[in-house]
Amino acid sequence: MKESGEQKTLSARWVVPIDGPPLEWGQVHIEGEKIAGVSKAGTIEVDENLGEVILLPGLVNAHTHLDLTGFPQERKNGSNFLEWIDSVIAHRMSTTPSQMQEHIQKGIDQSLKAGVCLIGDISAGGHSWDLLSQSKLGGVVYFELLGLKRDRAQMALEAFLSWIERIKPQDCLSPGVSPHAPYSVRIELLNFAIEQELPLQMHLAETLLEIELLQTRKGPFADWLIAKNVYDESGMVPSVRNVLQLLDRNSQSVLVHGTCLTDFSEKKKKLVYCPRTHDFFNSSPHPMPQMLSAGWEIALGTDGLSSNPDLNVLSEARFVRAKFPQLSSDQILRMITINGAALLCADRKNGSLMRGKYANLCYFPIDLNAPVEPVENLLLGNQSCSRVMIHGKWM
């Protein structure tokens, strides 16, 4: 095989470009860190025959929390949402800065092992930026904004401004902002985040407790916030619909979860659905099929390890394939490739195998116990990622 960085051609039993049909014994031509073309077998001399594998673009995990990779699994309990938040707060308060960096690095390593090349990380304090910028992973680091009371919101604002001034955006890693949720971020802080015109993600309508809080300003969630001394009704958004209208002002805004949304007709929206996290907290099905019918653009994310067993976004896709058999496998695969890249504002250079895009690839062995068709083989099989290439170099 030629040295990384030079021109080379790979072949595989199945090449899945995403933007076109799978190619049996297809070829991917690479020049430096970019894809020079994708073709059928035999069009050019092959430098490396990967054999009986399924080759596709590097996967995209559109929403996670890398700093929660070290969350103790014995503390995981989805039966009570507020108790679960308590456990996340306790974990973060007991984690030292050096331990947090170790957890983030473990999350990066897990992601690469799963075939992920692009990630959307919600980062407390923006702490994942340095490690991600040193890794091969691309994507967006969303600085998490928290603060419903005026003084806490001001502290969050100052911390964000200090962070955004310090970091240096890279070609493959962009800064973003995440006003956490309607119950945890002051409306002025939400408006500030929207006005930045940065990539933005916001958790919304994750539980009925949240809906009750926004509609009545009462209930268990209000009591919990009051007990934590973080409640300020004057700083809370008026309604879910108001949040949706505000986010329309930012073309790069994306919702996360959306479990309890019921009206999908206002405007086409963008959403990251975290299937196994939803299942962790809810017995009722997610409204994702209705969202798709209404024209929503949906990608998948793993969320963090406080509510999920791992950071394998293909496992999320397999879960969706089993849960929603009415969806096509091609439709689901797009949710962890080109759709995810689009929601991270990175689809011009990522998410599919096309000339001019980065040579970000991953491949999986063919599962002999699964259907022959390659995408079905991937989603109904049980194989793990064999290898990852990022920017033309094997990891």
- How many C-beta atoms surround the C-beta of residue 387 within 10 A? 14
- Return the domain boundaries, the chain: 7-57+351-394, 59-343
What's the CATH fold of domain 59-343? TIM Barrel (3.20.20)
The DSSP bridge partners found for residue 273 are 300
What is each CA distance from 389 to 57, 59, 299, in whole angstroms? 9, 11, 22
Share of the chain above pLDDT 90, in %: 91
CA distances from 64 to 111, 124, 195, 228, 259 (A): 10, 12, 23, 25, 17
pLDDT at position 102 = 98
Same fold, 7-57+351-394 and 59-343: no
pLDDT at 74 over 80: no
State residue 41's pLDDT score: 83
Asked whether the beta carbons of 279 and 254 are under 8 A apart, the reply is no
Residue 268 has pLDDT above 70, yes or no: no
Residue-wise pLDDT for 289-342, tens only, equals: 999 999 999 999 999 999 999 999 999 999 999 999 999 999 999 999 999 999
Give the Cα separation of 28 and 152 in Å (integer): 51
Strand ranges in the chain using DSSP code E only, listed in sequence order: 7-15, 23-31, 34-39, 48-49, 53-57, 59-64, 116-124, 138-145, 173-179, 200-204, 253-257, 270-273, 297-300, 361-365, 387-390, 393-394
pLDDT at 344: 98
Can you give the pTM of this predicted structure? Answer: 0.96
> Are the C-beta atoms of residues 192 and 186 closer than 8 Å to each other?
no
pLDDT of residue 245: 93
What's the rounded mean pLDDT across residues 34-59? 93
CA distance 48 to 127: 39
Mean pLDDT to the nearest integer, 137-166: 98
What does the alpha-carbon distance between residue 306 and residue 309 come to, in Å, rounded to a whole number?
8
Instruction: Provide CB contacts within 8 A for 13, sequence distance 6+.
Output: 24, 25, 50, 51, 52, 53, 54, 366
Class for the domain spanning 7-57+351-394:
mainly beta
Identify the pLDDT of residue 3: 43
385 band by pLDDT with thresholds 50, 70 and 90: very high
CA distance 153 to 148: 6
pLDDT digits (tens, 9 = 90+) for 199-237: 999 999 999 999 999 999 999 999 999 999 999 999 999
- Predicted confidence at residue 5, as pLDDT, reads 54
Does the structure show a pLDDT above 50 at 88? yes
pLDDT tens sequence across 125-135: 999 999 999 99
Would the pLDDT of 266 be above 90? Answer: no
Q: Report the pLDDT value the prediction gives residue 283, as an integer from 0 to 100.
A: 79
User: Do the Cβ atoms of 137 and 108 come closer than 8 Å?
Assistant: yes
**Do residues 93 and 112 lie in contact, with contact meaning Cβ atoms separated by under 8 Å?**
no
Minimum mean pLDDT among 63-77, 94-108, 143-157: which range? Answer: 63-77
For residue 81, what are the CA distances in angstroms to 178, 236, 283, 358? Answer: 20, 20, 13, 40
Beta bridge mates, 33: none
Contact 329, 317 (CB under 8 A): no
Report pLDDT digits (tens) over 77-87: 778 999 999 99
Secondary structure element (H or E) that encloses residue 333, with its range:
helix 329-335
DSSP 269: -
